[in-house]
Amino acid sequence: MLVKSVLCLTLLIFTSGVGYVFASKYRKRKQFFTQFNEFNLKFLQELSYSKRPIKEFLELYPYKGEFLAIIEDYRQKIGIDNVFNEFFSLNTFFTLEEEKLIIEYFKQLGKGDTDSQKTVFSIRAKELEIIKSNAEKEYKKYAELYVKLGVLIGLAIIIVII
């Protein structure tokens, strides 16, 4: 009886963990686009007030996860084309449209005069807000679903074992 209980508990933990892993795509997307949107808003403020060099601005704020990786990659390779090829090959949770948006965004970052940058990045702010809200909706919809499905599948297997 003890062996069966330990097996059932282990199985439940495993299936819940699998559900959590499947939900990580949506968690990463939500976190990435939330930080990306915040970064854009901070950059717009920067254009209006401080006007620091782009490398100095990139070092000001702490980021985490995939957005930190993309900022670090950009900072090291400013001015080089195809900066994010390796990043996108490692992170498959972006759509092609989102990849294009990110590439275009960072190609325009720090280029041109203040007024044109304000115009461009104000338009980008609207696009990023839409993508961020969609990522949050998908996270609420699918992330919880995968975790719950993992638990339910585990419980169903436990019922069969018992």
Reported as a pLDDT band with limits 50, 70 and 90, residue 82 is: low
**pTM summary value:** 0.82
Reported as a pLDDT band with limits 50, 70 and 90, residue 79 is: low
Tens digits of per-residue pLDDT, 116-147? 888 889 999 999 999 999 999 999 999 889 99
Q: CB under 8 Å, gap of 24 or more: what pairs does 134-137 form?
A: 135/26, 135/29, 135/30, 135/32, 135/33, 135/34, 136/30, 136/34
Q: Which of 15, 17, 28 is nearest to 67 (CA)?
A: 28
Reported as a pLDDT band with limits 50, 70 and 90, residue 95 is: confident
